[in-house]
Amino acid sequence: MTQVLATPAELVPSSAPARRTARRKELLRWIAVHSLGVAAALFFVLPFVFVLLTSLMSDSQALSRDLIPGTWEWGNYRKVFDTPGFLTWWRNTLIYAGLGTALTVVSSVPVAYALAKFRFPGRNLALMLVISMMMLPPQVVVIPMYLFWAKQLGLSGTLWPLIIPMAFGDAFSIFLLRQFLMTIPNEYVDAARVDGCGELRTLVRVVLPMAKPGIAAVALFQFFNAWNDYFGPQIYASENPGAWTLSYGLESFKGAHHTDWNLTMAATVLVMAPVILVFFFAQKAFVEGVTLTGVKG
C-alpha cells in the first residue's frame, strides 16, 4: 500500500551536482505533496472537530459563534442518555444490526458459494438478477412491501419487516461474497470433492475458513447498513417511538431541543462513534471489501 510512484533509481543522474539538484527537487516534491495532504486532512477532520467542540458547549454558548467551549460541559452527554427513548433506540439499533447481520451472513454464504463454484444453466442470469437487486432502491417496491407487512401481517410499528427479509439473502452481500469466493482457487474445492466431501462439508470445512475476510467484510457492511438505515425505520417504525433506531431518532433531537445544537451534536457524536470504533477494530476487512466491489470478478 505504501508503494510510491517515484523516480526510478536508474534515472537519477550520477554526477554530484546533478544528484544534489535531483535531491532538492525530491524534497520540494515531498513538501508539496505533504502540504496538500495536510490541507486535505483538515477538510476531512475539521467537521468532526467542530461537532465535538460544539457538543461540549453550554446551552447559551452553543447559540453563539464561538468555536471553542468556554466551559467544558461533559454533562451534555449525560443529558443525551437521559433523553426519553435514547437507550431504547440504542437497543433497537443493536437488535436490528446484530440480528440482521447474522441472518444475512447465514443466508447469503450458500448462495454466493453456488454462484461462484457450481456450474449450472442460468448461473449468469442469476448473477445478473442479484446485481439488479443490489442496484434497486428500496423505494421502488416499498408500496407493496408496506401493504404486505403492515396490512396483511400487522407488523407495522416494529422492526421485523426490516429484519425478516435478511434471512433470505441480501443481494449486495451475495455479490461481494461471490467476488471473494471467485478468488479461491477451484483446486481446493475439487480436492475436497475428490476426497469424498459433500458440498455442504466442502463449504463448511474447506471454503469458509478461507473466506473469513470476505465474511468479515460482508458482516461489517451489513452492520453499518442497518445502523445507518433511515428509510426502513421511517416506513415501518415511525408510528411507534418504542421501535425507533438511533439513525431515525437522532433527527428528533433537533426538534425536541429546538436550537440546542450542543445536545444535538452530542447525540450525533454518539451515533457516529460506534461505527468509527468498529472500523478501527476491523479496518483491514472493511477496506478489502470496498476494493472487492470495484474489482472485476
Which residues in 154-183 contact other proteins (CB under 8 A)? 165, 167-169, 174, 182
Residues between 111 and 150 with contacts to other proteins, criterion CB under 8 A: 111, 113-115, 118, 120, 124, 126-133, 135-137, 139-148
Sign of the torsion formed by the C-alpha atoms of 25, 30, 33 and 39: negative
Residue type, 116: A
In the complex with other proteins, the residue whose CB is nearer, 87 or 275, is 275
Residue type, 71: T
How many residues bind to other proteins according to rule CB under 8 A? 105
Question: Are residues 100 and 94 in contact, defined by beta-carbon separation less than 8 angstroms?
Answer: no
In the complex with other proteins, the residue whose CB is nearer, 17 or 137, is 137
31 counts as binding other proteins under rule CB under 8 A: no
Integer angstrom CA distances of residue 263 from 40, 68, 187, 224 = 28, 15, 57, 24
In whole angstroms, the minimum distance from the beta carbon of 215 to other proteins comes to 15
In whole angstroms, the minimum distance from the beta carbon of 210 to other proteins comes to 18
In the complex with other proteins, the residue whose CB is nearer, 2 or 15, is 2
Judged by CB under 8 A, which of 3, 15, 71, 152 binds other proteins? 3
| Interacting residues of 123 by C-beta distance below 8 A, sequence separation 6+ | 115
Distance (Å, whole) CA 134 – CA 174: 9
In the complex with other proteins, the residue whose CB is nearer, 96 or 227, is 227
In the complex with other proteins, the residue whose CB is nearer, 216 or 272, is 272
Integer angstrom CA distances of residue 271 from 7, 44, 47, 238 = 45, 18, 15, 18
Quick one: cell of 258? Answer: 429546538
Provide the phi-psi class of 165: left if phi over 0, else alpha when psi is between -120 and 50, else beta.
alpha
In whole angstroms, the minimum distance from the beta carbon of 34 to other proteins comes to 6
In the stretch 215-234, what mask flags binding to other proteins with x, by CB under 8 A?
---------x--xx-xx--x
In the complex with other proteins, the residue whose CB is nearer, 27 or 191, is 27
Residue type, 102: A
Sign of the torsion formed by the C-alpha atoms of 269, 293, 105 and 284: negative
In the complex with other proteins, the residue whose CB is nearer, 17 or 120, is 120
Residues between 238 and 277 with contacts to other proteins, criterion CB under 8 A: 238-239, 241, 246-248, 250-252, 254-256, 261, 264-265, 268, 271-272, 275-276
Residues between 35 and 54 with contacts to other proteins, criterion CB under 8 A: 36-37, 40-41, 43-45, 47-48, 50-51, 54
Distance (Å, whole) CA 82 – CA 266: 12
Integer angstrom CA distances of residue 286 from 130, 182, 218, 219 = 21, 18, 8, 9
16 counts as binding other proteins under rule CB under 8 A: no
